Chains A and B, each alone.
Chain A
Amino acid sequence: MPNKPAKPAAGREAVLVDAARTAFARSNGAWSELMAYELGRAAIAGLLAKTGLDPKVVDLVTMGTVVQDPRTSNLAREAMLAAGMPNTTPAFTTTLACISANVAATSAVDQIQLGHIDVAIAGGAESLSDPPIRLSKNLRQALVKSQKAKGAKGYLEIVKELSPEDLIPDIPSAAEFSTGLTMGESCERFAKRVGVSRRESDEFAARSHVLAARAWKEGRYADEVVAVPVPPKMELVKEDDGPRGDTTVETLATLRPAFDKQFGLITAGSSSFLTDGGSAVLFVAKERCDQLGLKARAIVRDYVYAAGDPLEELLAGPALSVPRLLERNGIAARDVGVWEIHEAFAAQVVANLKLLADKKFLEERVGVRVAPIEVPLDRINPWGGSLSIGHPFGATGGRLLSTASRRLQVTGERWAVVTGCAAGGHGSAILLENPHASR
């Protein structure tokens, strides 16, 4: 039975005021010339531009990122400085795989609730267009040694120890360090364990694309995605390039499995793809809103981080974190009108939904006493998700928070849950309340 931390004491209220993100673009596409911090910069600058907020009032910037460029290891700092924010505002970078931005957001929220700060920008950025590819270990060591080498003979000694295959670069893999399994392999294992079918997986994936394309058409993202001019030509990038509105279950059914060629059910069409993008969310102490002329979209009520077995539960984050969040806030699943769930793989979302509805799992594995959590499909990601919009690892959390808060405004619902899974077997669940709820 895992330990169950108590709900934190009520402090000041931290509210989500506004959010912005860059368009999410397939890697090596629209953003290929930019470093990740520049995407963070664009998101921050976009947020400051749309709100007209004076950057001097911001007390803290936090940003998530996963695949770090060693030159900008504190990405948040470079992003906010380049966005023209004052150098007197501190900034730090968080990393927790695909929920890195969630950590950035909840860290900022903590500081507001505790009264340390009043205003924070939290988000994330990722570029997978230019991953840091390293030299082989032998070559790296040789290079370090060569700095101390004396004369041509010294160099020759070092070169002699190298073999031709040492020249092959060390390309980072998406495999879990502790298990050696890639995300896709792990998800195959998970889907089969929970009992997800190929059909269920393809249906969920097709739905994501159709809904995202429709949401764009209906102008749902006009307020969220900022147009970013890319130097030197300053051509504007302003739309996600992932959603394919003509996707059908039938077309997806023709695709070959991507990870387990023989027995697998996950295809490229039902997986999120490598994406570049940045997001930024503005959090403010509720009591400062009026003074700054800002309006709260959502109050951040509570959040839960959970973790499980990196082999069997690598992608089970939502099932591990959501039940505890609902239990300790005394909220029934049916009262939550807005669900934003990160879609790493279609099968992963389906598996998590199955686990959430599984009384035995909730009681024995998560250790909560709540009714099985049945989430109606129409409350989940109705404006598309990571499968279609894309998934820049460090930035996705910002997108989910933004969309959830806007959905609260559009629907008038009271509660929203934002949840996702992350490498290492982590889960994150954040509870938002609509201060202007109509139901």
Chain B
Amino acid sequence: MTSSTTSSTTTTSSKKSGEGAPVNGQQHGAAEALTLKVVDNVAVITIDVPGEKQNTLSEKTKHGFKVCFERVAADPAIEGAVLISGKPDFIAGADISMIQTRKSAAEVERLSRELQQQLFLLEQSSKPIVAAISGACMGGGLEIALACHYRIATDHPKTVLSLPEVMLGLLPGGGGTQRLPALVGIQAALDMMLTGKNVRAKKAKRMGLVDAVTVPYGLEDAAVTTCKRLIMGELSRQEPKKKLPERAAEAALEDNPAGRAILFRQARQMVMEKTGGLYPAPLAIIDVVEAGTGKGPEAGYGEESRRFGELVMSKEAAALMTLFFAQTALKKNRFGKAATPLDTLGLLGAGLMGAGIAEVTVQKGVRVLLKDVSAEALARGQKTIWSDLDKRVRSHAMSPFERDRTFSGVVPKTDYRGFDKCELVIEAVFEDLALKHKIIREIEDHVRTDCVVASNTSALPITKLAEASKRPHNIIGMHYFSPVPKMPLLEIIVHKGTAKEAKALAVDVGIRQGKTVIVVNDGPGFYTSRILGPLMDEAAQCALEGVALHLIDHAMRQWGFPVGPITLLDEVGIDVAAHVSKDMAPFFEPRFGPRDRSALEAMVKEGFTGRKGGKGFFMYEKHKQSPVEKARAIVEKAMGAGKKDKPYNPGALAILERHGVKPGSKKDVDERELQERIGLRMVNEAVQCLQDGILEGPVDGDAGAVFGLGFPPMTGGPFRYVDAVGASTVVSTLERFAARYGKRFKPAELLVDQAKSGKRFHAKG
């Protein structure tokens, strides 16, 4: 399984190659990614990829590792080694472009094999090797650390360990699927690998992922000292002390084949529930871990490389990786640095949106002046913020005192005193043009002349909003998605007169808030609301034809949306939907035909506003479960019952019925056609947006649809979807639907052009 070049150099003879002070050993020149120096009898190997912010594993580092560890093995003066980073982060993972350019699964499998071999050498070295970890230790970086004999992590807040490959549609291909379960147990390992979640130093120590935690300073000294003690035999790696219930669970589910069978079955069931089986990576991870624990390491490592090769070549991974690249690209501000970075944000409206924006801003150390009409209205917003922060306290991500301090950064206001300090004011009041006009004028009376005034609106034209402004060049749209702390997208809307400085500041703020930011041009519904319109319209048409609402939702979830359109309507709010739909009507109806909104309006009148009101198309009211109901729920869960559908709101069904809609009356439903009808209308509108100049490019369009609306991520977005399926196929499907259902399916001209010319939206790759 491994070559034996490393083993034989037991160093009993030598004493310190360089006396006293640290001696620079074999230097590979300034441009080397890895350098080695000898401190007493310990080699300190520093990884510091030149010219990069973070260390990633690439061909360059591969060579460096080889040279360094050969020296460690061969040099009798070296009795142990420390692997440390010369950057704030340890190793952020493998360079994805290195994998992405490979042509075949076999080639990738070979690559994985090579890495595995290299790490076997490390693992089997008779000289102890200590990984000294500070900052991000992710993917391939953690796999290297796992192959070391001892791991020390700093308690720096940025120190996180993770195997996030699954998020790119991959699995850890450097032995991670084998070493991690052996180190921390199967359940904990699966949890890390299936979610890609970050583990902080303290937690890592508790679960045995690292062996020691130290302060963020003096890491190298600590690692060298530890290495010396390992050499002297004064110290050896200890299994973490686990609590009795954990030990019992491990004994029952991990230490015997029958238990493991149950464990893997449950894991697969959970993955199916969450992904609908649309993503191959999580299932592959479970398979590979199962192979290793059941059939031994040889089978496990072999399966890991093989499945890694397959996954890298899968269309799901390709799509997820391009999304990752898009997201990374969108983290750069293409309008340049903000002239004055945001220090104080003014925010109008303490509703769910306002509170959400305040929450993601204050956590970045920005003071937020949150204004509303009364202390009561403010307290409701403050409650949202406080309870979200308190959740972080309960998960030990922050202390109660930090929670209180952060919370105090949102300053409740009922007047404009202090707004003269704001660099940016975002208004998040009700979506009404006249009201927003009044608010914009009010804001401008109280802020500096260079203060950017942003409107959080999902559909009101920014050009129209700017008409009320004395300084229209400062006016911009910032369309957040609810709930703001969870939704990754920010859609920034600029009108023709928006100044570059305003764009730079708004984008900078969005990026600091941790959002993926797209910048689009003004137009009815901008981008996201506009492409959502036709999708919702088609869902409504299906309902009108008599398709049951939950079938519509189910079909679209199967297509890859995280929630179905009917549920999404409830999430967005029926009132908001009715409002937007009315605003958009003059724009859409000439193309789609007249639409009757009276059913939606009747629902709003009844108070069926969706999830926020407890009732929409479905019921959300939490009623207190009786002990019997609770017990039944527990038993059903234990017996493996899947998630139940939410109950319908009978009041909403009655309204639909009164308007001549009888969902469920249509019996023969072709799911695939349903998916294509609903899905392609969004895709077609996205292309239309690019054609109309709303979008600057397909990257924004893909990111906006996936991160804002949940467009199936494994497609990579509507434009990737067209590229993958082929524009001509999409056009012919649309034309087929147009013939059957009407002109609303008329394909966008740009789409027809692409079909004719055979061009793609994205370059291949």
Residues of A within 8 A of B (CB): 38, 41, 45, 48-55, 78, 81-84, 227, 229, 231-236, 238, 293
Contacts and interface: CB of A to CB of B under 8 A. Distances in A.
Contact of A84 (B344, B386, B409): B409
B379 A229 contact: yes
B417 interface: yes
A232 B390 contact: yes
What interface size band does chain B fall in?
20 to 34
B383 A53 contact: no
B387 A49 contact: no
B343 to A, nearest CB: 8
B404 A50 contact: no
B411 interface: yes
B408 A84 contact: yes
B110 to A, nearest CB: 54
A55 B344 CA distance: 11
Given A49-B411, A82-B408, A54 B418 contact: yes
Contacts of A238: 375
A233 B401 contact: no
B405 A234 contact: no
28 contacts: A45-B408, A48-B411, A51-B417, A51-B418, A52-B411, A52-B413, A52-B418, A52-B419, A54-B367, A54-B418, A81-B401, A81-B405, A82-B404, A82-B405, A83-B405, A84-B409, A84-B411, A229-B379, A229-B382, A229-B383, A231-B390, A232-B383, A232-B386, A233-B383, A234-B383, A234-B386, A236-B376, A236-B379
Interface in B391-433: 401, 404-409, 411-413, 415-421
B387 A232 contact: yes
B756 interface: no
B404 A41 contact: yes
Contacts of B412: 49
Nearest to B369: A52
- Identify the 3 closest CB pairs spanning chains A and B, nearest first: A52-B418, A84-B408, A52-B417
A236 B378 CA distance: 10
A336 B367 CA distance: 42
Contact of B379 (A48, A81, A227): A227
Contacts of A41: 404, 408
A54 B421 contact: yes
A220 B378 CA distance: 22
A416 to B, nearest CB: 25
Given A50-B417, A52-B411, 11 more contacts: A41-B404, A48-B411, A82-B405, A84-B367, A84-B406, A84-B408, A84-B409, A232-B386, A234-B379, A236-B379, A293-B420
Interface of B: 344, 367, 369, 375-376, 378-380, 382-383, 386-387, 390, 401, 404-409, 411-413, 415-421
B390 A49 contact: no
Contacts of B379: 227, 229, 234-236
Contacts of A233: 383
A362 B416 CA distance: 50
Contacts of B401: 78, 81-82
Given A52-B418, A54-B344, A82-B401, A234 B382 contact: yes
Contacts of B375: 227, 229, 236, 238
Contacts of A48: 411
B585 to A, nearest CB: 39
B665 to A, nearest CB: 46
A30 to B, nearest CB: 14
B380 A234 contact: yes
A84 B415 CA distance: 20
A292 to B, nearest CB: 10
A394 B461 CA distance: 54
Contact of A83 (B387, B408, B418, B421): B408
Contacts of B415: 52
Contacts of A38: 404
Contacts of B408: 41, 45, 82-84
Contacts of A50: 417
Contacts of B386: 229, 231-232, 234
A328 to B, nearest CB: 38
Given A48-B411, A49-B411, A52-B419, A84 B380 contact: no
Contacts of A52: 369, 411, 413, 415-419, 421
B139 to A, nearest CB: 36
Nearest to A293: B420
A84 B379 CA distance: 17
A182 to B, nearest CB: 36
B413 A49 contact: yes
A380 B344 CA distance: 42
B367 A53 contact: no
Nearest to A229: B379
A84 B411 CA distance: 9
A232 B416 CA distance: 27
Contacts of A54: 344, 367, 418, 421
A38 B408 CA distance: 11
Contacts of B382: 229, 234
A227 B376 CA distance: 9
Contacts of A53: 418
Contacts of B369: 52
Given A49-B411, A49-B413, A84 B405 contact: yes
A45 to B, nearest CB: 5
A107 to B, nearest CB: 24
